[in-house]
Structure 1
């Protein structure tokens, strides 16, 4: 579905729509940025038609129910909302009495949608592409920088050819990627609102014939035209705070799959690292606290006549 698919469907079907359905069509075309967040009942009330008319309208356009029409609307507007608008929408959608429950349920839904939509064959191809790369570049900025950093941390344990791009400017970014070539892989991560810096990097990578893997939210993402392979994970396009639970889950799956492919080498690496971590006390083992607690518990359990 291209970005104008919904509008195209409305225009093509408009002559055969009923009077009430035409009211809905006109409202959506003029106010799609508002309509996207309305339930079928609310949309019907605003336009002055019944909820059943809204459902029939969605079916008339070729969508399997109103939720599918709403998802088409989301694709249309997701990159058009400002931070303030996203904040206002989130305020309307979240149950203020049960914020924790609302947010967790919303995140769980995004993982479920991702599981339904993601292409397993594409995922396997991405794993193979990464394994055969001469060098692996990882890039994500703004909120996606956290995902890139997480992926880079574990990739550096698995591979010795990883470069995590740290960038505060476009020029600084190009200084770190200008050597890439056809044998390299670039993993670009971006979600609405999509970063121009990341898009420019993906464009440059393709100009150098590097293999590009994108981790993004939709087949309509501006990242897609630059990608050899795309791993799609749902994110929250309305909330001011980006929901990156589903993308992180996909990244976890990618890391685990690569660990399984390089299990023997990884075991040797981790054995060496464990020795280094222990020597330089990287992790707190709490041995003293454990011994104190054990001795304390044993002393409490001693019989009175025992020394």
Structure 2
């Protein structure tokens, strides 16, 4: 049976341990947490999985049988039988690994993927004019709106918390629906011209709706996402990509967090006197109130 992923090409399949090969099969796929649980089970129990039906696998993982089928198609296979055939090829061509080796390879692969994401971000920063200009634009928006929903909220919160130290009015939107609509309207009426939106996988539809509303109100959008080719790229006036790590059950956001720090730095550099004054005021307050130990 032909392999739609090309993963069973002898030149590909022969390289690396069985764990590395399964990780390669999963790498770069946009999988749900339930699908990643299935992927994790494959890594931990590969020799067993090749003898399991989709019903058996679903029962062992604790998901539905259709979830197993959707998992296989998400990897590019026609269905679970085709995926199982691919896994059999990996097992037959691999050397047995201990559970400790499996876990170590998995963790190391996750870190290596993050290193790749950071290297791509380093190339973006190597030509800093784009970041510098973006920082200037954001520094001039008063208020400055920040959007982050669901898992993207952690990066947006970090950016917003840091930016508040150097910018006079930063407004974080972390709730969707009418609450977001109200916050966007109030910010626009107060003079906001720019919004920074963090939209990382899995992409929340409610975040896309908020971005569309922001643009309808006349706000310009800096979009931080994982891939410059996302289908909603046209919603951004400035798009800044930062890859996410997809090797674990949930995405890791090392590169987006670094990009958030770079944006804060660019805002600070765009208004150095304001930045210095606000930082000194905060330090005086923190010392007087004993904020830190």
Q: Note whether the superposition's TM-score is higher than 0.5.
A: yes
Alignment of 1:108-257 (within 5 A): 108-116=115-123, 120-167=128-175, 169-181=176-188, 184-257=193-266
C-alpha distance in structure 1 between counterparts of 2:193 and 2:232, whole Å: 18
1:166-217 CA-to-partner distances (Å, cap 9, x unmatched) read 31x4122212112344851111101111011111111111112211000001
C-alpha distance in structure 1 between counterparts of 2:134 and 2:233, whole Å: 14
Gaps of at least 5 residues in structure 1 are 1-22, 29-34, 45-49, 55-69, 285-307
How far apart are 1:120 and its partner, in Å? 4.0
- Per the alignment, do residues 261 and 128 of structure 1 end up closer, same or farther by CA in structure 2, a change over 3 Å counting? closer
- Per the alignment, do residues 205 and 196 of structure 1 end up closer, same or farther by CA in structure 2, a change over 3 Å counting? same
Which consecutive segments of 4 or more residues in structure 1 shift more than 6 A?
Answer: none
- Per the alignment, do residues 96 and 196 of structure 1 end up closer, same or farther by CA in structure 2, a change over 3 Å counting? same
CA RMSD of aligned residues (A): 3.0
SS state at 1:221 partner: coil
SS state at 2:103 partner: coil
2:11 to 51, 62, 65: 51
1:104-134 CA-to-partner distances (Å, cap 9, x unmatched) read 3222122113334677443233212212223
SS state at 1:187 partner: strand
Question: Is contact 1:89–1:238 with CA below 8 Å preserved after alignment?
Answer: no
SS state at 2:224 partner: strand
1:274 to 265, 283, 288: 283
Aligned residues: 223
- Per the alignment, do residues 212 and 276 of structure 1 end up closer, same or farther by CA in structure 2, a change over 3 Å counting? same
Q: TM-score, normalised by structure 2?
A: 0.67
Of the two, which has the highest radius of gyration? 1
Gaps of at least 5 residues in structure 2 are 15-23, 45-101
- Per the alignment, do residues 93 and 223 of structure 1 end up closer, same or farther by CA in structure 2, a change over 3 Å counting? farther
Residue 118 (structure 2) pairs with residue 105 (structure 1)? no
Q: TM-score, normalised by structure 1?
A: 0.64
